[in-house]
């Protein structure tokens, strides 16, 4: 296939995403107010608890059996690799840019957690129906494309809500604790200025009394309790994560297919509506946004090519053009949309992440097209 044909084939799914996202942005305008903040909040819940689990379960049940599921063992390793390398690069970016403390977890999360479900589930099946596709029969390709993308969505959801969630959570809580300590210092200084005697009487003399000292066992117990509070594994029970466990083993009724079919357009509309927040701006440094874009659109895709091609060369990964394309695409997608939900939960970094989404998804229109063209050439050659 010529480079022009590959580029056109790769651009068509991206154009479809842009059109739906633009519609979502329009519906979120204050003058229209159909997808306002409250509407997005409730619609996100419907997607999270209903549409996404149905989409994951129905597509996996349609194309995958237990035997074929075992052949896809490389995908969780590949997704883990994207998170690991992205985290390392994000940590380097934090060290270079020196952002405010509450944004450190957000930056590492944006670099490590890509949109591994929503975009692949739109882009990959669309590649199957394009003229000259290297993926064989359209119907078979479409079924497996949905299955691969659904598995990617389920696995990435598990990684995001167990790892990224806690990274952002820890830094957000540390920021709250620092602010609380600063506020206490200001209060204490005020008390000292206004009433020195009152400040002196507020000093805790318990440490001077041996009977009141805390034992080593109590300190260890307190440390364990503090650590358990910081690591929250409850999000692992998210319906989109649970949906993958039963999908290959049970027959899914037609209602699940109907609900799953509503997920893709709804997700894309919400994506466009959320991007509107980025237009309002924030105080985030522009070099941070540039750094995230460089990591996600230059460094990670190059690393992905080396890893996938290396795995094929040493015989770890079998030659399967469609599966290879999905694995490569997992390195080139923009940051995960669900991080915006996490920032809302902790009330920290929401406006900053909206700006990150605005720029990275704007660049994704060009980046994803170019990388998809390169990936198609690699798997078809």
DSSP state of 333: S
Give the whole-angstrom CA distance, residue 254 versus residue 170.
42
**Domain span at 80:** 3-380
Q: What is the pLDDT of residues 88-127, one digit of tens each?
A: 999 999 999 999 888 899 999 999 999 887 788 888 888 8
Q: What is the pLDDT of residues 310-328, one digit of tens each?
A: 998 888 887 788 899 999 9
Average pLDDT over residues 325-352: 84
Residue 360: both structure tokens together: 């990275």
Position 206 confidence tier, pLDDT thresholds 50, 70, 90:
very low
Residue with tokens 């991007």: 275
Instruction: Report yes or no: 165 and 235 within 8 Å, Cβ to Cβ.
Output: yes
Strand partners, 123: none
Task: Give the chain's domain count.
Answer: 1
281 phi-psi bin (left φ>0, alpha ψ -120 to 50, beta other): left
Q: What is the pLDDT of residues 165-196, one digit of tens each?
A: 898 888 876 555 444 444 444 344 444 334 43
Asked which of 106-110, 288-292, 353-357 is least confident by mean pLDDT, the reply is 353-357
Average pLDDT over residues 287-297: 94
Residues 150/267/156/279 CA torsion (nearest 10 deg): 150
CATH of the domain at 187: 1.20.1530.20
């Amino acid at each position: 296939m010529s480079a022009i044909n590959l580029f056109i084939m790769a651009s068509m799914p991206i154009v479809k995403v842009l059109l739906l996202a633009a519609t979502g942005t329009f519906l979120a305008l204050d003058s229209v107010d159909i997808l306002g903040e409250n509407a997005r909040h409730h619609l996100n819940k419907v997607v999270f608890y209903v549409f996404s689990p149905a989409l994951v379960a129905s597509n996996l049940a349609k194309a995958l059996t237990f035997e074929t599921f075992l052949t896809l063992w490389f995908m969780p390793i590949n997704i883990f690799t994207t998170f690991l390398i992205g985290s390392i690069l994000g940590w380097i970016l934090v060290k270079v840019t020196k952002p405010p403390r509450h944004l450190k977890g957000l930056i590492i999360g944006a670099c490590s957690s890509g949109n591994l479900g929503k975009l692949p589930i739109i882009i990959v099946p669309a590649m199957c129906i394009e003229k000259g596709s290297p993926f064989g029969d359209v119907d078979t390709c479409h079924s497996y494309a949905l299955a691969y993308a659904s598995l990617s969505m389920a696995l990435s959801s598990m990684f995001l809500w167990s790892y990224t969630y806690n990274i952002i959570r820890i830094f957000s809580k540390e920021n709250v604790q620092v602010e609380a300590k600063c506020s206490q210092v200001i209060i204490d200084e005020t008390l000292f200025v206004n009433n020195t005697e009152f400040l002196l009487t507020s000093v805790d003399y318990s440490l001077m009394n041996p009977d009141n000292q805390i034992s080593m066992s109590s300190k260890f117990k307190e440390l364990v309790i503090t650590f358990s509070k910081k690591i929250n594994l409850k999000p692992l029970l998210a319906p989109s994560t649970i949906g993958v466990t039963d999908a290959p083993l049970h027959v899914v009724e037609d209602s699940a297919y109907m609900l799953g079919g509503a997920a893709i357009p709804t997700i894309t509309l919400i994506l466009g509506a959320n991007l509107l927040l980025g237009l309002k701006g924030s105080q985030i440094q522009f070099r941070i946004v540039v750094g995230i874009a460089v990591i996600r659109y230059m460094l990670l895709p190059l690393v992905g090519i080396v890893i996938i091609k290396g795995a094929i060369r040493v015989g770890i990964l079998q030659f399967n053009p469609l599966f290879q394309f999905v694995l490569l695409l997992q390195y080139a997608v923009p940051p995960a949309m669900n991080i915006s939900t996490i920032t809302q939960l902790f009330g920290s970094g929401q406006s900053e992440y909206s700006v990150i989404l605005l720029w990275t998804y704007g660049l994704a229109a060009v980046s994803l097209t170019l990388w998809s063209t390169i990936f198609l050439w690699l798997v078809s050659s």
